[in-house]
Amino acid sequence: MTSPNEGGRIALRPRARLVRALGDELISSETVAVTELVKNSYDADATDVLVRFTEPLERGRGCIELIDNGHGMSPETLSTAFLEPATPYRRSKRRTPTHNRRVLGEKGIGRFAVSRLADELSVSTREPGSDVESSLSLSWTDFDDDERFLDEIPIQWKVSSPIDFAHEGAFDLLAEVTRGPRVEGQRHGTILRMERLRHDWAMDDAIALRNSLSRLVSPFAKEAKESFHVHLQFPGELAEYSGSVAAPEFLTQPHYRVWGFVDEDGSYELDATVPNSEDAELITGTTKGRDGGKPMCGPLAIELRVWDRDRESLAPLAAQRGGTLRSLRGELDAYAGISMYRDGFRVLPYGEPRNDWLRLDMRRVQTPALRLSNNQIVGFVVISADENPELKDQSNREGLIGNRALEDLELAVLAILSEVEARRFKVRQKPPEDRSERRGLFGGLDLSELQEAVRVHAPDDAELHQMIAKSAQSVRTSVDEIQEVLSRYHRLATLGQLVDTILHDGRAPLGKIRVELTLLLRELSNGATGLASAKKVRSRLNAIEAQANALAFLFKKIEPFGGRPRGRPRRIRVEDVARDAAGLLDAEIARTKADVRISPTETLVTVEPGELQSVLYNLLANSVHWLREVSLENERVIEVNVQRTEDGAVVIEVADSGPGVDPEFADQIFEPYFSTKPQGTGLGLSHAGEIVSDYYNGQLELLESGHLGGATFRATLRYRV
């Protein structure tokens, strides 16, 4: 029995199976495991590494050897640091001694990837100039014993005269595949020999491994590409996947391409090419962080290569390669995705098959004509660990920790992707001569010209006049009914855009009401009496009433966008509608610190408030978004001016001090689904233009920049005003 005063110091003593779990659970696949081991060779200053498979490649049999010509390990390093999880060895040596490479591995767990691959491991290693080689061997199955502790697992190691690194030893296999001077005369490096495989290796695995290794080194890291080479050697039926690893040639022939750099302040300078263009276009801009300020990531380099996957676009490339459309699409599927590189090497799993880390496929669902899907892009994002300290690895080295810096990086990539999408949209849209002049949805349903022609050419045919008049009335009735339905859908569409605003503005009052009610019920249940308690109860009831009024005001603001049928249009002031629309954007306007100025005029019209408010909401929301690009807060201005012309039309101008509209896209901004916003749906301006045209017989135009220097939109309303 333990004495009450007994105590002392004890130590954690992990079970042996903990080490096995590191390999099985932290390394997600066999392909990732091999990739991690190749990265270790890179950290060892190797110029060449051979991954060699020996038959039979089935569970419980076969062998994988990884041979490199790196600096190897001393007997002391092999017997200590190699067997220490989370060793500080890499952390204390951030740069490699020979090639001055930024060390990729720092946590010391990558080596346990071998336990994911095979049950038996033997290691042979030799330092440059050493006359001995060191080796160790272990069986990972020993770590499966639930009863044994980690320090009870036998691991054999020794120092001997060179065997694997002797003439005609295993190291010569590397010299054979390189067929060059890089390893001739070298007798140093590391050999990992993994036997009794834990996985059946088939054709799909060989293809996946080759594809993954071919993207291991960043295309921007010229020095790394020239100084580090990976070779594969498969037996039997998989021999066709052997050889030096390189990406297929077709990846250098995209339809669209953009490449360049993003500085730490978010400003970017890019070059872009599109089909049938001889010269690259220079693109400049700025990406913001999640809060609208300077991003917490960067600097970074980026390249995006984009393909159109339809038959017409891919057929010439397939014919050039002597293959089929199906095989070309299959290869594109295997390489598609936006990969991330740090200090020249990939950060997994970004860019792996089916790893849509930017959610591009979901983004494309809303605007398929404009947005690109993940399988259309082969991209590269390159960062530096020293210059991006907030972009940190997860503990398993598969992906970065989800934080503000990663969110800002995603926003930066999407901003640049939107530059490509805007140019692609322009290239793929129908030529101007094939597009009929916009007359509005109901522009072709007016029978007045036909009535006039009948009056002139058949003035005495009363029956024909009656038939035309009846048809005209029927068309007008049908148009009114369709407009009623469309109006409801337009208002509901705007209401959908307002969901975030409703949640933001409504959550606070509801939370306050809930708190006050909880406290009030608690006080009443405690039998509160007396004047002081009555005052407290009254105070809480007043607070609840105030928050309820706030909710009522919110509901009143969004009421015009409800789906109920319209009542009789009422007399309203356009300026009041503009103020209501701005009120729906209160939170965004406050975050942006924008100064919204609405003219003091009073322009009376008889219209449905929801329609007009929808137009103004979309124009104001557009201005608020782009004002984030203005660096000085006191220069973020929006002006709304209203006037009535001599012919009775109402003109509304919304101008801002933002960056304005790129002249290159001035003809596209009213097209459905076109947007230069990274997350835009491309429906706001199109939706507003349709309302102005279809319900007010007017037009929505982009004017030249006014005195504010940004975008200026003019809506002219000629009907029902």
Tell me the three-class secondary structure of 386-401, residue by residue: CCCCCCCECCCCCCEC
Question: Residue 152 carries which DSSP code?
Answer: G
Q: What is the pLDDT of residues 620-640, one digit of tens each?
A: 989 998 998 888 888 999 999
User: How far is the C-alpha of 179 from the C-alpha of 18, rounded, in Å?
Assistant: 42
pLDDT exceeds 50 at position 434: no
Count, residues in the chain: 721
Digit-coded pLDDT (tens) for 331-350: 899 889 999 998 878 888 89
Mean pLDDT computed over 153-163: 90
The answer to which of 209-223, 528-542, 580-594, 689-703 has the lowest mean pLDDT is: 528-542
CA distances from 375 to 1, 307, 361, 674, 712 (A): 67, 9, 9, 20, 37
CA atoms within 13 A on the CB side of 173: 21
Arch. (CATH architecture) of 17-246: 2-Layer Sandwich (3.30)
Q: Specify which of 219-233, 279-293, 402-416, 434-448 reaches the highest per-range mean pLDDT.
A: 402-416
Long-range contacts of 505-508 (CB under 8 A, 24+ apart): 505/554, 505/586, 505/587, 506/551, 506/554, 508/550
Percent of the chain with pLDDT over 70: 80
pLDDT of residue 499: 57
Task: Return the pLDDT at 658.
Answer: 92
Structure tokens at 171: 């190291």
DSSP letter at 437?
A: P
In this predicted structure, the answer to whether residue 432 has a pLDDT above a threshold of 50 is no
Assigned token pair, 190:
């590391």
Pick the more confident residue, 706 or 82: 706
pLDDT at 437: 44
What is the tens place of the pLDDT at every residue in 538-590? 777 777 777 676 666 566 656 555 555 555 667 889 999 999 888 888 888 98
Q: Is the separation of the CB atoms in 305 and 378 below 8 Å? A: yes
Q: Which helix (H) or strand (E) covers residue 363, if one does?
A: helix 360-366
Distance of CA 541 to the CA centre of its chain: 47
Q: Which of 195, 212, 225, 185 is nearest to 99 (CA)?
A: 225
Q: How many CA atoms lie within 13 A of 422 on its CB side?
A: 25
Sequence-separated (6 or more) residues with CB below 8 Å from residue 570: 606, 609
Looking at residue 624, what is its pLDDT? 92
- Cα–Cα dist 453/474, whole Å: 19
Numbers of helices and strands, H then E, in the chain: 20, 22
- Residues 514-550 pLDDT 10s: 777 777 777 767 665 555 666 777 777 777 777 676 6
Q: For residue 350, give both structure tokens.
A: 């970004």
Question: Band of the pLDDT at 167, cuts 50, 70, 90?
Answer: confident
**Confidence category of residue 485, pLDDT binned at 50, 70, 90:** low
Q: What confidence category does residue 436 fall into, taking pLDDT thresholds of 50, 70 and 90? A: very low
Is pLDDT above 60 for 22? yes
CA–CA separation, 379 and 635 (whole Å): 36
Q: Which one has a higher pLDDT value, 505 or 115?
A: 115
Give the Cβ contact number of residue 293 at 10 Å: 12
- Assess whether pLDDT exceeds 90 at residue 177: no
281 band by pLDDT with thresholds 50, 70 and 90: very high
Top mean pLDDT of 352-356, 551-555, 600-604 is at: 600-604
What token pair was written down for 486? 């469309």
Query: Where do you find CATH 3.30.230 in the chain?
Result: 250-428
Q: Is the dihedral of CA 511, 517, 520, 526 positive or negative?
A: negative
Looking at residue 271, its amino acid is D
Cβ neighbours of residue 702 closer than 8 Å, sequence gap 6 or more: 661, 666, 669, 670, 711, 712, 713
681 and 660 in contact (C-beta within 8 Å)? no
Residue ranges of the chain that CATH labels 3.30.565.10: 17-246
Q: Using CA atoms, how far apart are residues 593 and 595, in angstroms rounded to an integer?
A: 7
Q: At what angle do helices 311-321 and 325-335 cross, to 10 degrees?
A: 100
CA 53 – CA 193 distance, rounded (Å): 10
Q: Other C-beta atoms within 10 Å of 152: how many? A: 12
How far apart CA 42 and CA 65 sit, in angstroms, is 16
Q: 337 to each of 62, 215, 304, 328, 340, how far by Cα in Å? A: 33, 11, 10, 16, 10
- Are the C-beta atoms of 124 and 106 separated by less than 8 Å? no
Residue 607 above 90 pLDDT? no
Phi, psi for residue 424 in degrees, rounded to 5: -65, -40
**Range with top average pLDDT, 306-320, 660-674, 679-693:** 306-320
Claim: this prediction has a pTM higher than 0.75: no
pLDDT of res. 11: 76
**Most confidently modeled range among 43-57, 519-533, 603-617:** 43-57
Specify the fold of 250-428: Ribosomal Protein S5; domain 2 (3.30.230)
